[in-house]
Amino acid sequence: MNFKHKFIFLFPGLFVLIGILIFPIIFTIRLSLSGWNSYTPEMNFIGITNYIRLFTDDPRFWESFFRLSFLSVTTVILQYVIGFSLALMVWREIKFKRFFRVIFLIPMMTTPVIMTVIWRTFFHESLGPVNDLLGNIGVKPILWLSDPVIAKFTVIIVEVWQWTPFMFLLLLAGLLSLPKEPFLAAAIDGASPFRKFVYVTFPLMAPISIGAIIIRLIEASKIMDTVFVLTSGGPGTATETSSFYIYIKGLREFQMGYAATLSFTYLVIMIISLTIIAKVLTKLMIKE
């Protein structure tokens, strides 16, 4: 194939993306070395002062980061288990198969922030249906949004509702693309459904599972919308995630320089940890 054609196909997209992104990235790095805040809104140069502050004097960022890790890992594991079970259940013939498939897909089509507005009324501590129904069977009102521990689980519930469908979609698409022969062989051997799953379905699905988990982890590491509307990081800082903390520093307190430091560090940690997770998962799930 002629040499120049391939570049004509590739370059428009590549350059538009680089063109839009190159400025923000360079700018963030430069900004992180400055003391830009609301008193001195200028690009001065203060060296690595911001980084020293982050690594020695900002426990709130690291707390928010561990909270984020906890929230995203928990939600992704739940999504994977539930999504995989659901996908297995509507994979083969069952009654109303297509109806259930549509229903299971719906939450991911809805805007997270808007659904969270509804979830807020849903979990309202005195006027919401959850506490009312639980009250009917004699459970005391649960402080869904104002108890520091329970609020985390409320966020997890909403995230699982919102994003299990994506996991379900990826895994069901994977199941539907599996070759038929291994299943026939297992059927001839008279394998039980459980053994069939452990020895045939799961190993075949391992690469797809890893892909789906990584994609979901990437998206879950950005948890922000839900928290923003549901609890605004509260009560206190109980549900504050890294993104939300950076948002507060940068766009509420206008410590732009320091927020850029946080952003850049956060991005680097994300890339490193996702690479490690991908490697570890591949090792764990694909034997041979």
Residues of span 117-156 touching other proteins by CB under 8 A? 117-122, 127-129, 132
Q: How far is the CB of 102 from other proteins (least distance, A)?
A: 5
Interacting span for other proteins (CB under 8 A) from 72-80, 89-97, 148-156, 280-288: 89-97
Q: Does 176 bind other proteins (CB under 8 A)?
A: yes
Identified binder of other proteins from the candidate list 42, 94, 188, 190, rule CB under 8 A: 94
The distance of closest approach from Cβ of residue 288 to other proteins in the complex, given in angstroms and rounded to an integer, is 19
Residues 218-257 that bind other proteins (CB under 8 A): 218-219, 221-222, 224-225, 228-229, 242-243, 246-247, 250-251, 256
Site for other proteins in 59-78 (CB under 8 A): none
Check binding of 188 to other proteins (CB under 8 A).
Answer: no
Please tell me the distance from the alpha carbon of residue 252 to that of residue 239, in angstroms, as a whole number: 18
Q: Which tokens belong to 63?
A: 């707390």
Residues in 257-276 at the binding interface with other proteins, rule: CB under 8 A:
259-260, 263-264, 266-267, 270-271, 274
Rounded CA separation 121/45 (Å)? 47
